[in-house]
Structure 1
Amino acid sequence: MLVARNPYTGNIVEEYPALTTEQFHQRIGDAYRAFDGWQALTFSERGAVLKAVAAELRADKVRLAETMAVEMGKPVKEGGPEVEKAAFCAEYYADNAEAFLQREELASDASLSYVCYQPLGTLLGILPWNAPAWLAFRYLAPALMAGNTCVMKHDPNVPGSARLIAEAFVRAGAPENIVVNLPIETPQVEEAIRDPRIAAVSFTGSAVAGAKVAAVAGSEIKRTVLELGGSDPCIVMADADLDAAADVAVLSRIINAGQSCIAAKRIIIEERIYEDFCQRLQSRLEKLKLGDPLEMTTDIGPIARADLRDNLHRQVSETVAAGAQCRQGGNMPEGPGFFYPVTLLTEVKEHMCAFKEETFGPVMCAISASDIEEAVQLANETPYGLGAAIWTGNAELARQVADRLEAGQVAVNGIVKTDPRLPSGGIKRSGYGRELGPHGIREFVNAKQIWIK
């Protein structure tokens, strides 16, 4: 039995049976049988389907945003834009997939030699709860436009969101079973990966879970793309636009109650402006409103689950016990739901828990660096390598630092974000492979070489 619980009230939203082993293999078979017809369509035909799905997403935006709010606590003022972003992703690949996958002629001893990009078959996407619509379409849109069919194993926290996503394809008149919803329990995932009809696996989630997925898929010699956790640094130098940097750092940290892999989690501040910038951060954090995610005035909703909140509080408590200062928040609230207060930890050092571990919640860590060299060293002193940011008025310094930061993407004087037009992914324990952009659509295709004489 799968149980979805409202993190605002703590009450059960829905209990629903997981598919049996026989049932989920049948559903994988449905997607497998849909592959031949789907991959045979032209790019324009597949694109028309994706654009119709995007229109259905927008038409159902309010209901989907409210469902996300109830199931995992995302404020509706964030949920609506998330649905729009998912729709844009579908439209973007509908318009650009053919160009990204066009045949490439290469010189050789043949009369004609070229590489063509062909779909692999049926894919398995294992998705997290923290951005139910966006992360689904980040997987679905490029995979489908390449000609693959998709099995979608969404998180048990968001069954309603997963159903609405699947229903959008039905309402759009998409060919049957090009996307199959797979509500199964976590222990069943290994068997799903091992199903011989699954050609490759896309996984978004924690590094621990990602390692397990990679091990199983590797034992079956199946390709994987892993987008895992992050402990993203945000370096702020004295010559930066400090107000703009503070605005963006706070926004990045508190989106989705801080439950984002690419949030700015470690704010590394040049020593001579450290106190000034900490005050700027605190003044902004103090204005944020926690509350009912269904209310448009709410800035921060609850943490998605009780166990996640407990772990977050452990990280804060251990960091304070090790000598950090808690300037704001840091207390476990009483009452229903899984709220955690906006928390600002200062004087954080490399050996402390919140520096070493990924913090998934509205907890900001401020770290002092004597100069840019120490700032880069601190930024890279992490097992993760997802995103990073640098704020400075020195353009040449920014370019040099961007090259040295160990991350899959770097933002200069801006927010680290995912964009359908640009590749996204990590290194080190943040995973491998790329999603989005022209690079993402080529992860799940066969780059086939053709030699003709």
Structure 2
Amino acid sequence: MSQGYAVTNPATNEVVESFDTFTDEQIQEALAKSHEAFQTWRKTPIEERAKIVSRAAELFKERKADLAKIEAQEMGKATPEGEWEINFSGDILQFYADNAPEHNKDKPVDVPGGKATVRRLPVGSLLGIMPWNYPIYQVARFAGPNLMNGNCILLKHAEITPKSAAAIEEIFREAGLPEGVYINIYADHDQIADIIADPRIQGVSLTGSERAGAAIAEIAGRNLKKAVLELGGTDPYIILDAADVTKAAEEAWVKRIENVGQACTSNKRIIVMEDIYDEFVDEMVRIAEGMAQGDPSNPEDNQYYPMSSRSAAENIDKQVQRAVDNGATIRTGGELHETAAYYTPTVLTDVPVGSDSYYEEFFGPVAEIYKVSSEKEAVELANNSNYGLGGAVFSDDTERATKVADQIDTGMIHVNLGQYFSPVLPFGGIKNSGYGRELSVFALDEFVNKQYLYIND
């Protein structure tokens, strides 16, 4: 058996605990259990499902401190950020417990000659492939709507977050989910392909890299399985003007350094008007240089934490060095720890637009800042991306910012705020950022059979 799943503390690069990858026999057993459980779960009244999902929401919130400690050890998230994530995950589950019963009601349709009803029926067992950067939240936004729809879930989590994966399964079971409705599996890449191909699996949802999304979409397409993909982003963050440049820089930095820059919707391209650009860059450098290396399990003010793994830190270092080779300038930072996963907060300017580095996603604590001379140039730069996930536009004139925001090609766009978090709003992107939507009632529409029943008069 493989030892691919392991808890490796990124602050020390030491392996804390290992988990065996499932055997092929264990995978088949999980598929059989899931398929069997679906026969009962699909018939469970949605009000009963809601009670279980609501109880799971409560349990996540009750155990937020313990779960946050696990995240800190597995992937380096500061415990306050982890607790916020887990609280939000509980809110997401509660949103679906509260709203799915009404949304999923049968809808009568007026047709001549008879009676018609559109019914929303579960489709079966689904495979979820989830990433390490938000180990609880990513699962909650996939599991919440699909459990309420009456589907069953096989959940393949990231290899570096196996302890979070096990804790999630335990909470759902304790909340009252029948055996087999939610199964955590430690699967390898070959087994994932086999699972998607299995006729007992009706769809797959992946949150991850563009490369992973392309691979999963290919397998899903070959097997005629629906997929929902939430992939990467190089979100534009446009600052048209700012009466208080220091405050603008501080807000931009908080957004960029959140989760050590390892967020799909992080402000990876900060686009600033030329009249405030120099001052803004100086402020960003000042803030970055004022941060000290910290322990995510015992966080303090003005600290930065390790990236999720040593390999992630080495990769961001290589990306920054490639950007410099292409002509970019490191204003501060750009230093890799000797052995652990720490990478000093970095401010990067002068990345040549159109270069390979420009189009890459910097998934780490690197603030890329671009100078523009007009709104038109800002919009063109913002839309010059292979991705289209989120973004934001800032101005002391809200109307001005809104007019610019209207021209940005993304699935989500904000005015005078880096990002708004709510279960009510749909999450997802366009272009290479993927397809499908999570969160909101739209997530209930992704893996459901919208069947019509017609009764002839």
Assess same fold via TM > 0.5: yes
Aligned runs of 1:28-107 on 2, under 5 Å?
28-107=31-110
Deviation at 1:417, TM superposition (A): 4.7
Match of 2:321 in 1: 317
- Three-state SS of the structure 2 residue aligned to 1:326 is strand
Partner Cα distance (1:389, 1:119) in 2: 36
Partner Cα distance (1:242, 1:29) in 2: 59
Deviation at 1:363, TM superposition (A): 0.2
Q: Which moved more, 1:49-58 or 1:103-112?
A: 103-112
The aligned amino acid for 1:246 is A
Summarize the Cα distance change of 1:282–1:112 in structure 2 as closer, same or farther, 3 Å threshold.
farther
- Contact kept? 1:258, 1:362, Cα under 8 Å: yes
Summarize the Cα distance change of 1:115–1:245 in structure 2 as closer, same or farther, 3 Å threshold.
farther
1:337 aligns with 2:360: no
Summarize the Cα distance change of 1:13–1:187 in structure 2 as closer, same or farther, 3 Å threshold.
farther
Match of 1:371 in 2: 374
Partner Cα distance (2:156, 2:307) in 1: 22
The aligned amino acid for 2:361 is E
Deviation at 1:119, TM superposition (A): 1.2
- Contact kept? 1:28, 1:180, Cα under 8 Å: no
Matched residue count: 452
- Contact kept? 1:289, 1:297, Cα under 8 Å: no
Q: Which moved more, 1:267-276 or 1:102-111?
A: 102-111
Deviation at 1:395, TM superposition (A): 3.2
Summarize the Cα distance change of 1:240–1:42 in structure 2 as closer, same or farther, 3 Å threshold.
farther
The aligned amino acid for 2:311 is D
CA deviations 1:113-141 (Å, max 9, x no partner) are: 33221111111000011110000111100
Q: Which moved more, 1:87-96 or 1:185-194?
A: 185-194
- Contact kept? 2:393, 2:402, Cα under 8 Å: no
The TM-score normalised by the length of structure 1 is 0.96
Q: Aligned-pair RMSD on alpha carbons?
A: 1.7
Partner Cα distance (1:346, 1:110) in 2: 67
Aligned runs of 1:41-190 on 2, under 5 Å?
41-190=44-193
Deviation at 1:21, TM superposition (A): 0.9
1:2 aligns with 2:4: yes
1:225 aligns with 2:228: yes
Summarize the Cα distance change of 1:330–1:30 in structure 2 as closer, same or farther, 3 Å threshold.
same
Aligned runs of 1:280-359 on 2, under 5 Å?
280-297=283-300, 299-334=303-338, 336-359=339-362
1:394 aligns with 2:397: yes
Partner Cα distance (1:135, 1:54) in 2: 14
Partner Cα distance (1:165, 1:359) in 2: 29
Match of 2:434 in 1: 431
- Contact kept? 2:240, 2:401, Cα under 8 Å: no
Percent identical residues:
38
Deviation at 1:93, TM superposition (A): 0.6
The TM-score normalised by the length of structure 2 is 0.95
Summarize the Cα distance change of 1:278–1:123 in structure 2 as closer, same or farther, 3 Å threshold.
same
- Three-state SS of the structure 1 residue aligned to 2:304 is coil
Summarize the Cα distance change of 1:110–1:312 in structure 2 as closer, same or farther, 3 Å threshold.
farther
Q: Which moved more, 1:107-116 or 1:248-257?
A: 107-116
- Contact kept? 2:206, 2:229, Cα under 8 Å: yes
1:13 aligns with 2:16: yes
CA deviations 1:214-244 (Å, max 9, x no partner) are: 0111111111000001111101102576455
Runs of 4+ aligned residues of structure 1 deviating over 6 Å after TM superposition are none
Q: Which moved more, 1:50-59 or 1:396-405?
A: 396-405
Q: Point out where structure 2 has 5 or more consecutive residues left out of the alignment.
A: none
- Three-state SS of the structure 2 residue aligned to 1:15 is strand
1:200 aligns with 2:203: yes
- Three-state SS of the structure 2 residue aligned to 1:315 is helix
Partner Cα distance (1:278, 1:160) in 2: 40
Partner Cα distance (1:38, 1:240) in 2: 57
- Three-state SS of the structure 1 residue aligned to 2:32 is helix
